[in-house]
Structure 1
């Protein structure tokens, strides 16, 4: 059933609020949250996702920068000590050190910066996510091959899955484009494998017009590149092949991985 009861000041602020109760219920159910688990609702708006998250028994951090929505959230959840409202920008709010999940309908304009904060670091408390993002972005991120280094880095370390399409009419007001329910789960890549993966991907994507096998000459033994990578440029190599190559190298204890760039992967 579509909900029309939450059409507040969204139309005047340029925000498109997710307003379909079925989509929201599926987001929350897919996260499989447990009691006292920490979950973040980025861009919480008036609390359409925050409220069902609170009903799971989890501890909820609702992040919102709009003054009016913040005031409404604080009133709405004043008697719910498990819900904390942060008057912050999703691009700069300090992320928890403890383990946390994310369930949110991300404003399209800040999707990439927020995903970068969640998916780029090697060491963080981020555990998993159920997100609503722009349809085109979801399709690019879940392609079997990655078009750039950043996308490859994310998709090799996280399983990114389009669970369903979210039509524009599920929002109030409706945007011009559809969205997607995107699931995010870690692949269990340890730090050693991640360091090798970064080195391999960087070398290959730094020379995008050169066949990946050639771009890795001197870095990876030829016998491995020819056995584990298809013949083609970096953008033509499947995510699974990159990950298999990195894990194979990581299993060889004689391989010394280069240090990860500290400024990017703290």
Structure 2
């Protein structure tokens, strides 16, 4: 007989005050900042965020929890939105995210937060499943989508969070995942997407072969060396952060090459 899954939604309520303090210390919300909390639950983290003076938008799918949050924070700078965190409309103004994500929603949530270049995400401090965080923070991501996230954002694990920090306790540990945007020119983004698509389509190709399709004048070797990568190296072995540097270098190289050809 098949045993039903325990807590299949992956919802585990945060109860450890030390972990909450660590999230706030990392996020450093100021008075007036817009902070999105995804999956607010009973409001333990919501209360801590409201205490900073930030403008908190608490998203909670469960109707009973949402009603309790509205009553509890009726006179605080907290807006409660009853919606699914995977579908809720995200702000178009600068905002940060501090959240204890249900483990089952990690990929879908990161896809929304990090996959839309139109969002003005100032940073995110998230509690996610430990293995998921380890996969996200690999120097060389396993797929083009994750590489795109890691190239546009710095992703690091601040700490391991034990199961005892939650109720009910999950079967595995969690991680405090820190997300911060890299300083990238908007002209760099389409080049970055094109480079990553090429690299992950043919990971066994030399990096210079991938770059040669985007850099005129046979400058692929010089471009690779300018970002600290010594050919020969395969495209599939290049760290995500290096792709961001390469894309920026391609953007700079293109107008310079055109100027030389005109002169």
Q: TM-score, normalised by structure 1?
A: 0.86
1:243 alignment counterpart: 244
Aligned pair in 2 of structure 1 residues 14, 144: CA closer, same or farther (>3 Å)? closer
Map 1:69-218 → 2, pairs under 5 A:
69-80=65-76, 82-218=77-213
1:67 alignment counterpart: 63
Q: CA deviation at 1:219?
A: 2.5
Larger radius of gyration: 2
Distance in 1 between residues matched to 2:233 and 2:67, nearest whole Å: 54
Worse-matched range after superposition: 33-42 or 190-199: 190-199
Aligned pair in 2 of structure 1 residues 67, 14: CA closer, same or farther (>3 Å)? farther
The answer as to whether partners of 1:64 and 1:87 remain within 8 angstroms in 2 is: yes
1:234 alignment counterpart: 235
Q: Secondary structure at the match of 2:99?
A: strand
The answer as to whether partners of 2:148 and 2:240 remain within 8 angstroms in 1 is: no
Distance in 2 between residues matched to 1:152 and 1:14, nearest whole Å: 25
Q: Which runs of 4+ in 1 moved over 4 A?
A: 11-14
Q: CA deviation at 1:127?
A: 1.0
Aligned residues: 246
1:16 alignment counterpart: 12
Q: TM-score, normalised by structure 2?
A: 0.87
Q: Secondary structure at the match of 2:124?
A: strand
Q: CA deviation at 1:105?
A: 0.6
Q: CA deviation at 1:48?
A: 1.0
Distance in 1 between residues matched to 2:220 and 2:120, nearest whole Å: 37
